[in-house]
Amino acid sequence: MAALESDLLRTFLAVAETRSVTDGALRIGRSQSATSMQIKRLEEVLGQPVFERTGRGVRLTDAGTRLVLVAQDVLARLDAAYRDITSDALGGKLRLGIPDDHGRARLAGIVAAFAQSHPKVELEVNCSLSIAFPSLLDQARLDLAVHEVAEPSSSEEVIFEDPTVWAGVAHVDLWTRDPVPVALFDQACWWREAAVRSLTQAGRRFQVVYSSQSVEGIKAAVAAGVAIGLLGRSSIDVPLKVLGPEAGLGPTPVSHLVMGTRAGQMSDAARAMKQAIRTAFQREDPAGV
């Protein structure tokens, strides 16, 4: 007999509360396609739709409205039981740095699960531009940080690799223009340097028409058709497309998402968090980043 699964209920509740499959997927750290498949599976189990698709997202059907309260109650009870059974004596303070763009949803989910499993650990999370994380580790102002680098050092553990690519939109051939309009990060970071180096090596003149501190800002400019931009391949989704050799742009590097720790003895809390992050990135499909 078909049965409701807690994983399906968790996905349903994320979409119901955000009113969007895309935003719901970000909340639970899954890809949009995987989230849609779970909603479809839930509707097959129930034999009726739980959402109506609209131009701005989704809205609950009558069945979905009734299911929300059930899902909230069931998941609250399961989470409470999990905390009660799995919580341990691990304590202390952990200062963690996570980036404000790459993998934000997945990392936030990992941190939330860690807090539930280790309620005695005092977590201090710094979610910001990761360009400052290495210096904060050197100054012992962070214990553990996740950030992106072009070339990882021997002291950093790589948890995810993402080739960088030039992105544009299908309906506007911006790469044929001279100078080519580009969107770049406005911080002195290796992403900006990599983009400029790629254009220079290809002998392309360019004009910076848009600057942003975040991946989402660059994606918005590219999606609007005002510029091309350098992004991680995992960030490419509709309406963006990867620009191939026909665009006449130079080579681009691979981005490495790494974990770094401050010098000195690592605490048990930091060691446990590193393992939680490592396990999550090994288990999940990279498309869910």
Query: Cα-Cα-Cα-Cα dihedral of 127, 133, 139, 143, to 10°?
Result: 60
Is residue 115 over pLDDT 80? yes
Residue 262 structure tokens:
């401050």
Count how many Cα atoms sit within 13 Å of the Cα of residue 132 in the half-sphere of its side chain.
13
- Is 252 in a helix, a strand, or coil? coil
Residues 114 and 151 in one domain: yes
- Predicted confidence at residue 27, as pLDDT, reads 83
Residue 1 within a domain: no
Q: What is the mean pLDDT of the chain?
A: 89
pLDDT (tens digit, 9 = 90+) per residue, 134-176?
999 999 999 999 999 999 998 899 998 999 999 999 889 999 9
Confidence label for 286 from pLDDT (cuts 50, 70 and 90): very low
Residues 129 and 81 in one domain: no
Residues 251 and 261 in one domain: no
pTM exceeds 0.95, yes or no: no
Whole-number Å distance between alpha carbons of 26 and 115 = 19
Contact present, 198 and 228 (Cβ < 8 Å): no
Is residue 88 over pLDDT 70? no
- Predicted confidence at residue 216, as pLDDT, reads 85
Give the CATH number for residue 140. 3.40.190.10
Residues 150 and 105 in one domain: yes
Interior/surface letters 139-157, b for 16+ CB within 10 angstroms, e for the rest: eeebbbbbbbbeebeeebe
pLDDT (tens digit, 9 = 90+) per residue, 200-237?
999 999 999 999 988 888 999 999 999 999 999 988 88
pLDDT (tens digit, 9 = 90+) per residue, 193-203?
999 999 999 99
Ramachandran assignment for 156, one of left (phi > 0), alpha (psi -120 to 50 degrees), beta (any other): beta
Full domain range(s) for residue 220:
161-255
Residue 77 within a domain: yes
Kindly report which listed range (78-87, 198-207, 262-271) carries the lowest average pLDDT score: 78-87
pLDDT greater at residue 201 or residue 119:
201
Residues 151 and 191 in one domain: no
Give the CATH number for residue 34. 1.10.10.10
Number of compact structural domains in the chain:
3
Q: Which of 64, 86, 108 is the last residue of a domain?
A: 86
Whole-number Å distance between alpha carbons of 60 and 273 = 37
